Amino acid sequence: MRTLRIGTRRSRLATAQAEQVRRMLRHQDVDAELVPMTTSGDRAGWPEHVDLLPDPVSMKGLWIDTILDALREGEVDLAVHSAKDLPADEDGAGELRGLVIGAVPERADPHDVLVFREREVLEKGMVVGTSSVRRRAQILAAFPGVGIADLRGNVDTRLRKLADGEVDVAVLAAAGLERLDVIPPHARTLGVDEMVPAPGQGCLAVQCRADDRVVRAALTTLDHRPSALALTAERALTRALDGGCALPLGAIAAVKGDAIRLAACVASADGARLLRAAAEGEDPATAARIVAAELRNQGSDAILAELREA
């Protein structure tokens, strides 16, 4: 089999994720090499994740555009994305344009983590750094009395700002810390009762061309079925609510026997309104449909509309 070319952004985290997939392929006796690429978001100098942008809804996809173009043109054979940054409409639209998610490797820890500058206690008056609307809303709901400050940049930049005293606490994804082999000395994982993760958080999505049977066959060995089903449910919910990847929608799914259990929340930006719903379904689409209906019954459409208009 030919050596596969893996398209990836040049950032340290993106490279680490692509390297993880390269190693997994190598264990299956498939050789692969990384092809670092510069996306529109990189050229513009914007932050690494879509939820850190000033107008994230209109700019989503700018961290994958060049890579997807190269994949469609045959310049690379597959692309590795952090699933939470892959627009949910890529599931259907991507396939129509010739691409599919060929594999979802076993999910890393999906939770968010509070990283403290000093002792691991979050008290009133402390300043929590995040630029994610989802994280901001749930922090304000779970910890009344704390302040929120804008904190942008990649993982290393945000940890440096924390150390320099710009904030007392930073909110980061456990999976990103793990993939970068970063172990903060003062950190606490947030439970789902405090912070529902972003849809797809902790998952990698490996895309390839729909008509490339050789690559699709190679990727089947990387696919972790429970993780893929969970991701499918979370992305289906995102599409059902038309929430996008930049609004305060949290979702986490898991396989439970023969069913998919999906839990989700939608919060107002100030954390004053926090809607929760959970359900089990025989497949991801059913679970997503039930949870979306319950959130809508509670008023999620109004919350999301307010945020889009803000």
CA atoms within 13 A on the CB side of 168: 13
Q: Which residues neighbour 29 within 8 Å (Cβ) at sequence distance 6 or greater?
A: none
Residue 211's SS3 state is: coil
d(CA 86, CA 63): 9
Main-chain dihedrals φ then ψ at residue 273, nearest 5 degrees: -120, 125
Q: Helix 300-309 to helix 284-298 angle, to the nearest 10 degrees? A: 80
Tell me, what DSSP letter sits at residue 51?
Answer: G
Cβ-contact 15, 36 below 8 angstroms: yes
Nearest alpha carbon to residue 247 among 286, 295, 214: 295
Cβ-contact 63, 39 below 8 angstroms: yes
Tell me, what DSSP letter sits at residue 293?
Answer: H
d(CA 89, CA 183): 34
Residue 80's SS3 state is: strand
Adjacency order of strands within the sheet including 99-103: 32-37, 4-9, 78-82, 204-209, 99-103
> Is 258 in the active site?
no
* Residue ranges in 174-254 assigned as alpha helix (H): 174-179, 213-220, 225-241
Nearest alpha carbon to residue 114 among 174, 183, 189: 189
The single residue of 51, 77, 85, 91 carrying the catalytic annotation is 85
Catalytic residue positions, numbered = 85
